[in-house]
Amino acid sequence: MPMTFTPRRLLPRVATRPRRDAAASLHEPLLISYLTLRKLVGGLGMLLPVMLALGGWWVERPLHVEPSLSAYYHTPLRDVFVGTMFAIGVFLSAYRGHDQRDSRAGTSACVGAVGLALFPTAPLVPESRTAVVVGHVHLGFASVFFLSLAYFSLCLFTESARTQAPTLEKQRRNRVYRGCGLVMLAALGLIIGYQALPDTAKLAMESHSPVFWLESTAIMAFGVSWFTKGEGLALLKDKRPGQAAN
């Protein structure tokens, strides 16, 4: 029987990229996304006191600030305050870091942010006992919010990869993170101390709006910490090419 030969179809060779390059290309947009998320959270934190103060002056004209950031809930700027806190809460709930601690801290901060927006602070002259109770609930959520953010700055943002020594820029960022975390804790402690003062002492200081400035300081520190974590400050970025931020 004669033998037959069927020629095999020759296929052109297609150059394929190494798998590690594909993984890197997939990782790059995720990296950019997380850096952008951090900058957005930090930017909102830094802008909130400014937006409320300037908005209050524009709407009500007299150059004064409310007793606290939360007191803007009872002004025409209620939507600005509530909307910003909800936005911060949503961004924090979407935050995923290196392990479950980041996720739990983000969820905790989200609950605090949304809770203090939904449960308003008591007005200067409470209309009912319910308003006073809701005001205490508001303080509880505010404490959860700031404590969670301080935990981020003091415990999570300062960590580095165990396989390499932290760079000089990372060490400088850590000083920023720790400073911001301590500022948040100090501001929260001073607010609690102010609330514990006798009514006569609080009335004497009320015209200076101490709670507003302490809350503004705390949330500005939160904003600086997250903006730095998102590589928003060029002077603190790692100088080594290809090195990821910690």
Helix 129-151 and helix 100-118: axis angle, to 10°? 160
Count the Cβ atoms, other than its own, within 10 Å of residue 130. Answer: 10
List C-alpha distances in Å: 140 to 44, 105, 116, 197.
22, 16, 8, 18
Output the pLDDT for position 39: 87
Give the Cα separation of 206 and 200 in Å (integer).
10
If phi > 0 it is left, if psi is from -120 to 50 it is alpha, else beta; for residue 240 that is beta
Output the pLDDT for position 231: 81
Specify the higher pLDDT residue, 78 or 31. 78
Give me the torsion for CA of 71, 74, 75, 76, rounded to 10°: 130
Structural domain spans, the chain: 33-235
**Contact yes or no for 227/233 (Cβ under 8 A):** yes
pLDDT band at 22 (very low <50, low <70, confident <90, very high): very low
Give the angle 39-144-159 at the CA atoms, nearest 5°: 50
Output the pLDDT for position 40: 87
Output the pLDDT for position 48: 93
Q: What is the mean pLDDT of the chain?
A: 81
Instruction: Give me 151's structure tokens.
Output: 């935990």
| Sole residue written with tokens 């390059």 | 21
User: What pLDDT digit, counting tens, does each position of 152-166 carry?
Assistant: 999 998 887 776 787
Specify the higher pLDDT residue, 18 or 154. 154
